[in-house]
Structure 1
């Protein structure tokens, strides 16, 4: 992570002497301490440290100090030159790491992760990674993906956005100063900027508290919920000259800040509690160190922070932050271990520091200190253009290749070479050999099923059907002969392809009301799932569809037995008592490992990728007992269309069966349409084709 000044660094005596006057070695050591916290917590503890929050505050502290000095001297803000200089400095190291990650992805990561890396490379390059991760953090399906080697760019994205916003605030502050000063004599640009940043601090902190309490996963990456940390750094920069404290107090303050910084990640679950008020902990700790400053005492924390090793580490802190996370992700994929041990972790940290030094020495510093680039803005802008092109060109070509692979795989769906589940429904049917399975591995994470207009709102009236109608577009005005609701979690959602296919050819309407990780049941809890299920049951009993399709059991990756969830039968009884039939589909097997990833790495025929069916589910469907007690409940078991008699294979009939360790691909589910229809009509005795 970077903290940057607005003033370019030139090789002339005037600028070097000015840098010497403004350079604070204890702040550079503070950067080093923060990046060490981030790296060590990630590598050995698997936790978040709060070190990123220190960087956010420091970046605003230094930026504000630079701009306020411009205002003090009456110099123009020159925002265009500032932004060109800034991104000319930031992009080379970032682009170097993105390119290295792209190469490592091709060499190490499974193909199923490629599309995600392409998406995150674009987001990292354009400084919107935090918004991408915010959307994925509240997406049940995306949240289960493998950790991305670029996800740490979220904080850099927030910084980049603030580096654009903050100068605009200074521009607005300068424009406001003169008219306000004419009315209030004691007002100057410092007081105006203090007022602006105070408003930002209060508004952002209040927003952060509310959003963290209601949607913490999104708030963690939300720029708006982080602005108060930057505003605090700006307020500190505006007031630090007035904070004159006794040396003994500053010594105590410095060490208190160091201890508080180091303790933050141990005491707080940063990834699940931040931002909100608790994010002030690392911010205040770092502020205490900055206020303590250079005490001149042999006992001061600044003596430690100003030591040469920490200052040198601070010099490469930006590059070290950039490289350590991709190195960690690649290492875990290669070794198969969640976290490296003490020795491997130490080698990883040393190797990351070495690579960071190389990037700083041979990429970042030569461009940053080049006098010719600083003297000509167009040359500096050309550096930015080249950096963008170095990532955008291969990404565009890669994206086109992935799109072509997906299109070819999609075109193959439904042909005779890809029968999928039909080979299990009819054992006499042969499967062509030498055929590439579908869907394309690069598109496997996009195989979660869905309907064009899924319902998640609490609509207990006829508007629900109007909003969520799934009737064929050409027959949108027709009256459905039957209405089915698909309700539950992602395991209910994955049956939408065959349900929709059967519905379309019979003139039925299908409505989906789904929430990831929330199976249908009657519960008394106060969590989001319990509340969602209460709304769903209220909606269903009010609308009274002809039937509800649900998943009736919950399989386990740890034991060969699925069970009926507590409260499920109560939900079924509530629906059937209102005259609504319920179709219960047995849960698909779940496994201890991702079978698709296993097949990519070891081959589809490897025994490790073909677990015995007996280790996934027993022969008895526990939901059948409910059908004996409730005649309007129809129990269906389609396990034999997912697994063979002996094993559960990652590929059946040249179609990939699983997305991950527990979800069926939409493509494979679609191949189950015919046997699904036969069993549905046999169980329900409905008329249909």
Structure 2
């Protein structure tokens, strides 16, 4: 007999029957799994939008997982968490590893070298089920218009979240088992409370985070737990629901039509994974509640049909293979999206590969009896799978690192950079030496000072607190010849690559306050950069450096906008000059609508499409020329070093000038130091 508190007297017929309520193969749900993944594939290929299919896939995973564990709890069988974890990853990893290795091969053959380092990192993140966090930290835009720049492992974010839940959920079941055993409570009410709490807390967190940090929340496991919790609650409830046949028919069709249309009718960009994800999840829940209607008009007659159930078996493989095939196609064809015909071909090829992989790889490994004989054997299979990815990826990265070190050792002779522009220069290096930096080293090309600001250079007071994370310095110089504050945006950061060698040679103390996207000037009210500019100005006035180095112009983009003097720069000069602080203004470097580094890697450094005449990207005359002669201002124009002879080329002196469409490489900036030193000396510095 069951009490009002959910206690159950042992040995009753109801207690014996309860496990069977949560058992049984549900073919209509298996067919629904395929529909969900097919939605993902179709929306990725043709619409480049979120369909909600991934969310349904996650819900179904939790649904089946919960049914499995509740059967054990109701029957009083041990949960055996360790063996469960090994078994589930032994089941998931082989196809994942096969996909990762195949994708790495595609990347090695077809992808530009500039992307290989990141692809290797994400291959490791994918096989260890942390790809979602890697993408979140990298601030990846899941809704990017041009998918050709997306990672071929980006789709592993949802599998990573799923893998993390497969580790967490059994712990919840184990905790529920302890509560039920000690208090003699039934498992279903205890689990309903537990998953209800997870649902409520995670959904509230998801809505809040989606509103303030949607790009991060999209990949955040915590913002996705409620979707799994809803699947678990559904699994707990369905055995006790028995809708009439007519209602089952209505629920099934309404749910299917609703889940297919959600991505078409609603622009979910920027809204997932918040409350809007309830739409596809509730739609799928309606189909699951409808279950087997027994009616020839029920949607289950389609979902539970043999072909759809077999395709449901291949849904995991389909999800795995479709994305790297799509991204590789876009890279090879240099297209932002697939066309109608190519899209159909990609889907058909993905389906064929998925069915083949399921039949000849996944199913035989599921039936493989040897690993199931002991936990140790299961662990061996899991470790081997992880090693099949980790060993070649780490070996590949190590080989690239050794090659880079060898090239760096010869760089002074083989890669003169801007030094090759000096009158009378004669190249004596290896004519076959590669240009530097190598693509695998690009992540090291951002200029930075080694230490956070400290002592009198540390931001102080409420006015400067916004600079705390943006202030860096060279090691403290006792009685420096000069103190130089480098202030501005990422372009001034790159010019600092030429300043650092001068500081080391001349005993200067360098301090940098750099804020992305914000050149330095006296800002008007309402300017997006005003808060940071005001704080930087207060900071500069307090530390009273000998000079402030900043960009004096904002370069023209190739959309026709004109290069102009940084807003508020004349006012900045007038404010600092009476304080004895010189403003040294660097003319901005060009900005392109393509990546010169990638262009050179793809077409060659001398290819015409990789070269741009200076007049197309910069004004005919430095706009800051009007400030020359103004007290407290010194202008520096390095355009002839960045774009010699009036032509912006991707490689000068066997060194890549640009690391992306508008940032200099640290390697090239360093080679400009001698010329910059001469020009500053000529100006009295």
Do the structures match in fold with TM over 0.5? yes
Q: In the alignment, which residue of structure 2 is the partner of 1:563? A: 564
Q: Is the partner of 1:202 in helix, strand or coil?
A: helix
Q: In the alignment, which residue of structure 2 is the partner of 1:301? A: 299
Q: Is the partner of 1:273 in helix, strand or coil?
A: coil
Q: Is the partner of 1:416 in helix, strand or coil?
A: helix
Pairing 1:595–2:602 present? no
Q: In the alignment, which residue of structure 2 is the partner of 1:640? A: 640
Cα drift, residue 471 of structure 1: 3.0
Q: 1:198, 1:231 within 8 Å by CA — same for their partners in 2?
A: yes
Matches within 5 A, 1:544-559: 544-551=544-551, 552-559=553-560
Q: In the alignment, which residue of structure 1 is the partner of 2:168? A: 165
Cα drift, residue 511 of structure 1: 2.4
Q: Is the partner of 2:252 in helix, strand or coil?
A: helix
Q: In the alignment, which residue of structure 2 is the partner of 1:244? A: 242
Cα drift, residue 535 of structure 1: 3.9
Q: In the alignment, which residue of structure 2 is the partner of 1:265? A: 263
Cα distance in structure 1, aligned partners of 2:109 and 2:375: 38
Pairing 1:135–2:173 present? no
Cα drift, residue 574 of structure 1: 5.7
Superimposed CA distance per residue, residues 598-657 of structure 1 (whole angstroms, 9 cap, x where no aligned partner): 2222222222222333333243112333456x5333332211111121422221111111
Q: 1:523 to 1:180 in 2, by over 3 A?
A: farther
Pairing 1:44–2:42 present? no
Q: In the alignment, which residue of structure 1 is the partner of 2:272? A: 274
Cα drift, residue 383 of structure 1: 2.3
Cα drift, residue 468 of structure 1: 4.8
Pairing 1:443–2:444 present? no
Q: 1:563 to 1:281 in 2, by over 3 A?
A: farther
Q: In the alignment, which residue of structure 1 is the partner of 2:680? A: 680
Cα drift, residue 272 of structure 1: 2.6
Q: 1:130, 1:155 within 8 Å by CA — same for their partners in 2?
A: yes
Q: In the alignment, which residue of structure 1 is the partner of 2:24? A: 22
Cα distance in structure 2, aligned partners of 1:426 and 1:226: 62
Pairing 1:424–2:425 present? no
Which of 80, 83, 86 is residue 82 of structure 2 equivalent to?
A: 80
Q: Is the partner of 1:244 in helix, strand or coil?
A: coil
Q: 1:581, 1:633 within 8 Å by CA — same for their partners in 2?
A: yes
Cα drift, residue 149 of structure 1: 0.9
Q: 2:557, 2:592 within 8 Å by CA — same for their partners in 1?
A: yes
Q: In the alignment, which residue of structure 1 is the partner of 2:328? A: 330
Superimposed CA distance per residue, residues 557-598 of structure 1 (whole angstroms, 9 cap, x where no aligned partner): 334842345556566666557664333222212223222222
Cα distance in structure 2, aligned partners of 1:641 and 1:366: 62
Cα distance in structure 2, aligned partners of 1:285 and 1:573: 64
Pairing 1:649–2:649 present? yes
Cα drift, residue 517 of structure 1: 3.5
Q: In the alignment, which residue of structure 1 is the partner of 2:121? A: 119
Q: Is the partner of 2:648 in helix, strand or coil?
A: coil
Q: Is the partner of 1:645 in helix, strand or coil?
A: helix
Cα drift, residue 228 of structure 1: 1.4
Q: 1:60, 1:230 within 8 Å by CA — same for their partners in 2?
A: yes
Cα drift, residue 159 of structure 1: 0.8
Cα distance in structure 2, aligned partners of 1:307 and 1:572: 76
Cα distance in structure 1, aligned partners of 2:470 and 2:652: 37
Cα drift, residue 311 of structure 1: 2.4
Cα drift, residue 288 of structure 1: 2.1
Cα drift, residue 70 of structure 1: 0.6
Cα drift, residue 366 of structure 1: 0.5
Q: In the alignment, which residue of structure 1 is the partner of 2:663? A: 663
**Where in structure 2 are there 5+ consecutive unaligned residues?**
1-19
Q: Is the partner of 2:659 in helix, strand or coil?
A: coil
Q: Is the partner of 2:487 in helix, strand or coil?
A: strand
Cα distance in structure 1, aligned partners of 2:575 and 2:276: 44
Q: 1:455, 1:514 within 8 Å by CA — same for their partners in 2?
A: no
**Where in structure 1 are there 5+ consecutive unaligned residues?**
1-17, 182-186
Q: Is the partner of 2:548 in helix, strand or coil?
A: strand
The alignment's TM-score, normalised by the length of structure 1, stands at: 0.87
Q: In the alignment, which residue of structure 2 is the partner of 1:349? A: 347
The size of the alignment, in residue pairs, is 655
Which of 365, 368, 374 is residue 366 of structure 2 equivalent to?
A: 368
Q: 2:256, 2:287 within 8 Å by CA — same for their partners in 1?
A: yes
Q: 1:573 to 1:255 in 2, by over 3 A?
A: farther
Q: Is the partner of 2:451 in helix, strand or coil?
A: coil
Q: 2:210, 2:272 within 8 Å by CA — same for their partners in 1?
A: yes
Q: Is the partner of 1:421 in helix, strand or coil?
A: helix
Superimposed CA distance per residue, residues 246-304 of structure 1 (whole angstroms, 9 cap, x where no aligned partner): 33333333333223322333344545322222232322222222222222333333333
Q: 2:563, 2:618 within 8 Å by CA — same for their partners in 1?
A: yes
Cα distance in structure 2, aligned partners of 1:571 and 1:578: 11
Select between 504-513 and 458-467 the one with higher mean Cα deviation.
458-467
Q: 1:384 to 1:512 in 2, by over 3 A?
A: same
Which of 72, 96, 99 is residue 97 of structure 1 equivalent to?
A: 99
Q: 1:263 to 1:454 in 2, by over 3 A?
A: farther
Select between 376-385 and 441-450 the one with higher mean Cα deviation.
376-385
Cα drift, residue 534 of structure 1: 4.5
Q: 1:50, 1:270 within 8 Å by CA — same for their partners in 2?
A: no
Q: In the alignment, which residue of structure 2 is the partner of 1:184? A: none
Q: 1:602 to 1:285 in 2, by over 3 A?
A: same
Q: Is the partner of 1:483 in helix, strand or coil?
A: strand
Q: 1:419, 1:431 within 8 Å by CA — same for their partners in 2?
A: no
Q: 1:249 to 1:465 in 2, by over 3 A?
A: closer
Cα drift, residue 156 of structure 1: 0.8
Q: Is the partner of 1:22 in helix, strand or coil?
A: coil
Pairing 1:189–2:187 present? yes
Cα distance in structure 2, aligned partners of 1:626 and 1:126: 56
Matches within 5 A, 1:369-388: 369-388=367-386
The alignment's TM-score, normalised by the length of structure 2, stands at: 0.88
Cα distance in structure 1, aligned partners of 2:526 and 2:216: 23
Q: In the alignment, which residue of structure 2 is the partner of 1:148? A: 151
Q: Is the partner of 2:379 in helix, strand or coil?
A: helix
